[in-house]
Structure 1
């Protein structure tokens, strides 16, 4: 059985950055008395700010699709800024990393407390090589019909695969 969580990486961040750059460039062109150079320069700057500063910051929570099956957990590796920028400009070329359950030492569930209600936010896998992998649950909590069942299922599944008695819960 395989379950996936969050949204898959696609070309939307790049497309939105191009649209924003074109809109700002056109607006500048009109306001600057039809000065094409000013429109091109400001449109390019807006495009670069959107695609290299704004979108990379939010990419893991917006497009952090991960999958879990009997053998492994697959996820997008966004641990460096350059990997995030590369994912925006080449979304089709971005492949998911995979980690088998044998390489996972333990895991934790990070929750948010809001209005006396505890909401799962993401899962942190602690790997044998010392790295941590954050798997976002927030997108599914907003979009899924039964988010609690998805979270319960994945927590039970990982716990059984790791033979871990309990899950450590961290509050943000």
Structure 2
């Protein structure tokens, strides 16, 4: 049994960056009396800003697909800016990392409170090598038919797999 959370990484960030750069370049070309060189330069700069600065910042929450199975949790490693940029430009090559439940020391559920309602944001896994892995829940909360059941199921599943009595809840 494998359960998948969030959106899978795809070509959309790169495609959107290309469209954004082309639109800005075309706008500058038309606005500045058909100066082709300036339109191309500004378009390339807009493309680079979108694909190297803006998208990498939001990539974990937009395309933070992760899977949970009987033996492991698989996730995209976005721990460095370079890995995020590589994921945007080469999404087909980017493979998910897998961590066995034996390598997870503990986990926490990170939540926020808005208008007397608690909303889970992500699950934070603490690995035995000292690293932390954040598994985003926000996409499922927005798109799933029963988001509360998804979160409840995964919390119960991980708690049972790690033989914990309760889950630590952290407030943002």
Give the shorter-chain TM-score range: over 0.9
Residue 162 in structure 1 maps to residue 156 in structure 2: no
What TM-score do you get using the length of structure 1 for normalisation?
0.99
Cα deviations by residue, 1:52-106 (Å, 9 ceiling, x for unpaired): 0000000000000000000000000000000000000000000000000000000
Number of aligned positions between the proteins: 172
Residue 24 in structure 1 maps to residue 2 in structure 2: no
CA distance in structure 2 between the aligned counterparts of 1:32 and 1:150, rounded to whole angstroms: 52
Query: Match of 1:55?
Result: 55
- 5+ residue gaps, structure 1, are none
What TM-score do you get using the length of structure 2 for normalisation?
0.99
Deviating beyond 4 angstroms after TM superposition, the runs of 4 or more aligned structure 1 residues are: none
Cα deviations by residue, 1:137-164 (Å, 9 ceiling, x for unpaired): 0100000000000000000000000001
CA distance in structure 2 between the aligned counterparts of 1:93 and 1:2, rounded to whole angstroms: 22
CA distance in structure 2 between the aligned counterparts of 1:20 and 1:107, rounded to whole angstroms: 39
CA distance in structure 1 between the aligned counterparts of 2:24 and 2:40, rounded to whole angstroms: 9
CA distance in structure 1 between the aligned counterparts of 2:25 and 2:118, rounded to whole angstroms: 45
- 5+ residue gaps, structure 2, are none
CA distance in structure 2 between the aligned counterparts of 1:112 and 1:65, rounded to whole angstroms: 21
Residue 103 in structure 1 maps to residue 94 in structure 2: no
RMSD over aligned CA atoms reads 0.4
